Amino acid sequence: MVRALLVATVLVPWLAGAGEPAPMDREQLKRALNEVLSRPALQSSRVGVLVQSLRDGSTLYAHNADELLNPASNIKLVTAAATLARLGPEFRFQTEFLTDADLGASGKTRTLYVRGKGDPTLTTERLYGIVAELVHVGLREVGDIVLDDSWFDGTLYPPGYEQEEGDRAYLAPTGALSLNWNTIGVYLRPGDKPGARAVVELEPKSDFFQVENQLTTGKRQQHRWSVKSEPSGERQRIVVRGNVGLPDVARRRIDNPTLYFGHTLKALLAERGVKVKGKVKRGTVGTSARLLHVSLSDTFDVVLKVMNKNSQNMVAEQLLKALGAEVKGAPGSTAKGVEVVEEFLANEVHIPRGSYVLKNGSGLNDTNRMSATQLAKLLAYMKRRFTYADEFVSSVPIAGKDGTLRNRFEGSEAEARIRAKTGTLENVTALSGYVQTAGGEEFSFAFLINDFDWRRGGRKAVVGGMEAMGVAVAAGGAPQGVARGQDGGPLEDAMARIRTYLSLGQQRDVRNIPFLRTAWRNEKEPAVRAVLADALYQSNPSDFLGVQSFLESYSPEPVVFGRLRQVARELSVQVPGVGSVVELAARGNADALKLLLTLAYAAEGDVSTQAELAASLADVARTAPDELLHSLRALKDVERDTVTTLLARGLVAAQEADHPFWATLKRAFGHTDREVATFARATEGVLSAKVAREKSPVPTSVVPVLQPIVPTLSGVAGGGGIESSTRPGG
């Protein structure tokens, strides 16, 4: 008996503690997070933070946790949770193919019907497989292709999309019949020799598209092009301009998902020898139609991975409409979907209606509001639900491993310990998810940062602070593994590495990427890190995350841009990285445009660099004139004066009387937003005056007398800027 008591006294407590996580030093964590939040970039922003234990629900840390902030793409967590809870992990989307009568031996049908149920994951490859199935059941000839998209309402874009003009892929519309995320791939490659017409190809190709190829073959350093996608009646017009020095690709949205689907189906049927003699048109399935084939999507857990890992806006909006149709009845709409989500939050998660603002499912633009507390509460609820917890948690990116977190937290304590959804808009960044600490404890967390100041380090400093918070939680209170060197050390120590990485970048070889990624992850000298990021971008310009890594590593600060100008003088080369910034800006990339304009201002007094940037601004004004005009509005007066002077110099050097930027300015005179119209008129006046001065330089002694005659843009900018996200919801 005594022996039994002894065993119970000693062994049972030991067994109870076996496998138990080591408790975190919560005071140390608070000190670490307070230190990060005291950084200037975060102090000047609106920040909401909550870290909550998944074991007992206690709050480890809170900072403005109940303030309603824009969560950006973190709202996809809400969309994912509600659709998973209501539709179940085994749910599959259906797309039905029907005929007006049995095919018979001839394989002919007067009408081939297609009825869509909102599948957001149909691709050209899947559609080709479907066509093969139709051929194998005997289809040989079709009259009309009738497309039934009545499962959704006719509103293609949810609230928030109207805040942004453009044809970027992340702005793609919804549709009960959708294909390739309602985007088109535009493939570019040089012609036989410089000056020759370049090649433009579409994937998938069909008679739905009208292509205007104004693309010229140029040298590598002239790789500056733009692609515009716009509706043209019942077709889509693709306009390609600029110069291409190497193969490249762009993705753009289409404006009529149903007809895009139908014309692609027609083209694929023709490839398999099926004749289509009639029209491709909208309609509804007849009551006597016979089912020929049903295409099923992957199960819902796979669909959620597509949405959350890649932050896919179109998938999120499709899910919201499908949720409305399945629960409230067809036609599915954004409003019905939001109603179902609000019922789920109120009845199951106990987040009451009216305590947040939910208008769309993707988080795009200035539309939704939630607090860090609400997001962390939702995450904790989903983790406790055995029937779908695994599907939900596995859908979000893993730090340093995949999705939108593939290039973040590498080499830190947070790598592989954090699973979280990112969020990125113009002045918003967010990260919400789960973390398992080094000691084994598990937490849900939400970091929301709004209204950060681009002049206090901008996105780079804010994202760095956010990552430092994540590492602090993962490491148990020690923010290590994210901070990078700031002073750079002697330039000569870095010169050899810069030469090496410049050479590797010029090779443009994807086989160099693993080496470059490792070097970039471990490099602490900011200028060298920027050159490494540029080499990564050059090795694969189509990799979105590589683009983001480059733009976040490159900055106008002296420790980066100032040092790289010194490198350019030492090596007699163009300033490293500037060409890549210009390439991206020429395509209308909002962050690249903003960076290019700040570089132009930072280069004041550097004659050779300013000459390079003047020519670059003229190139950008040619291929992305609308985006450049919006970016100019966002500048301070003193910055804008320097930039417009350089732009005028570049326009004069380009010697194009019909340069597209002038037409853009005149078109903006009639803009519905009076501030935009006023700014465009003022810009046209300022540029005209500066161009005249560049063409006929005034003697220095006379300049002060003439300066008051030159108009200024002061007071007319309107504080605008580009209302856009920097990735598909990010």
* pLDDT per position as a tens digit, 676-705: 899 999 999 999 999 999 888 655 444 343
Instruction: Give dist(CA 224, CA 77) in Å, integer.
Output: 37
The reported pLDDT for the residue numbered 715 is 52
Q: How many CB atoms lie within 10 A of CB 623?
A: 22
Burial class of residue 453 (count of CB atoms within 10 Å of its CB; 0-12, 13-18, 19+): middle
Q: What is the pLDDT of residue 410?
A: 84
Backbone angles phi, psi at 141, to 5 degrees: -150, 140
Question: How do 59-63 and 280-282 pair as beta strands?
Answer: unpaired
Q: Is the torsion defined by CA of 673, 677, 683, 686 positive or negative?
A: negative
Instruction: Specify the residue for token string 């995320």.
Output: 181
CA dist 702 to 141, 354, 699, 705, Å? 79, 64, 5, 6
All structural domains of the chain with their residue ranges: 23-89+302-474
CA 513 to chain centre: 21
Helix (H, G, I), strand (E, B) or coil at 295: strand
CA-based R_g, the chain, Å: 28
Q: How far apart are alpha carbons 199 and 196 in whole angstroms? A: 9
CB atoms within 10 A of CB 88: 14
Counted residue by residue, the chain has a size of: 730
Strand pairing class (141-148; 275-276): parallel
Backbone angles phi, psi at 168, to 5 degrees: -65, 150
Query: Which residues does residue 185 pair with via DSSP β-bridges, in sequence order?
Result: 203, 251
Distance CA(21)–CA(437), nearest Å, equals 9
CA 641 to chain centroid, in Å, comes to 30
Cα(726)–Cα(462) distance, integer angstroms: 15
The dotted CATH code for 23-89+302-474 is 3.40.710.10
Positions of the chain with pLDDT lower than 70, given as ranges: 1-24, 454-457, 477-489, 697-730
Chain centroid, CA 479 distance in Å: 27
Query: What residue spans of 657-706 are helical by DSSP H?
Result: 660-668, 674-695, 703-706
Beta-carbon contacts of 463 under 8 Å, excluding residues fewer than 6 positions away, are 408, 429, 552
